Amino acid sequence: MGRLLTTAAVVGVLCVTALLAAGATAAVNCGGGVTVKGGTACWKAKSIVKEFKRRQKTHVQGFDCTGSRSGGRWTEVNCKLQNKRIHWGA
Terminal C-alpha separation, the chain = 57
- Place 3 in a pLDDT band, splitting at 50, 70 and 90: low
Contact between residue 4 and residue 15 where contact means Cβ atoms under 8 Å apart: no
Burial pattern 26-43, b for ≥16 Cβ within 10 A else e, equals eeeebeeebbbbeebebe
Vertex 48 angle, CA 47 and 52, to 5°: 115
**CA 84 – CA 16 distance, rounded (Å):** 23
Predicted structure pTM score: 0.70
pLDDT tens figures, 42-71: 999 999 999 999 998 999 999 999 999 999
